Amino acid sequence: MSNLNQHKPGYKHTPLGWIPEEWHVLPLMELSKNGLSNGAFNDPRKVGSGFRLINVLDLYKEPCIDTSVLPRLALTEKEFKNNKVLKGDIFFTRSSIKLEGIAYCNINLEDADDITYDGHIMKLSPNDEIVLPEYLRLYCISYRARKFFMSRAKFNTMTTIGQDDISDMPVLVPSKQEQRKIAAILSAWDEAITKTQQLIAQLQQRNKGLMQQLLTGEKRLKGFQGEWKT
Q: Is pLDDT at 216 greater than 90 in this prediction? A: no
Helices (H), the chain: 77-82, 133-140, 143-151, 163-167, 176-216
Confidence at 82, pLDDT banded by 50, 70, 90: very high
Compute the average pLDDT of residues 69-79.
96
Both 191 and 146 in one domain: the answer is no
Q: Is pLDDT at 195 greater than 60 in this prediction? A: yes
Q: Is pLDDT at 1 greater than 60 in this prediction? A: no
DSSP labels, 46-108:
GEEEEEEEE-GGGGGSSSS--GGG--EE---HHHHHHT---TT-EEEESEESSGGGTT-EEE-
Buried b (16+ CB within 10 A) or exposed e, 173-206: bbeeeebeebbeebeeeeeeeeeeeeeeeeeeee
Confidence at 220, pLDDT banded by 50, 70, 90: confident
Cα–Cα distance measured from residue 174 to residue 135, given in angstroms and rounded to the nearest whole number: 10
Confidence at 119, pLDDT banded by 50, 70, 90: very high
The answer to whether the beta carbons of residues 39 and 15 sit under 8 Å apart is no
Cα–Cα distance measured from residue 180 to residue 189, given in angstroms and rounded to the nearest whole number: 14
Higher pLDDT, 229 or 70: 70
pLDDT of residue 6: 78
pLDDT of residue 65: 96
- Does residue 228 lie within any of the structural domains? no
pLDDT of residue 116: 98
Lowest mean pLDDT among 48-57, 82-91, 189-198: 189-198
pLDDT of residue 225: 74
Both 91 and 194 in one domain: the answer is no
Q: Is pLDDT at 103 greater than 70 in this prediction? A: yes
Both 41 and 138 in one domain: the answer is yes
The answer to whether the beta carbons of residues 105 and 92 sit under 8 Å apart is yes
Q: How many domains does the chain have?
A: 2
Q: Average per-residue pLDDT in the chain?
A: 92
Both 28 and 123 in one domain: the answer is yes
Lowest mean pLDDT among 23-32, 121-130, 158-167, 219-228: 219-228
Query: Which domain does 40 fall in, by range?
Result: 3-174
Both 66 and 135 in one domain: the answer is yes
Both 113 and 14 in one domain: the answer is yes
Side chain identity, residue 211? M
- Does residue 226 lie within any of the structural domains? no
pLDDT of residue 3: 62
pLDDT of residue 2: 53
Compute the average pLDDT of residues 197-210.
85
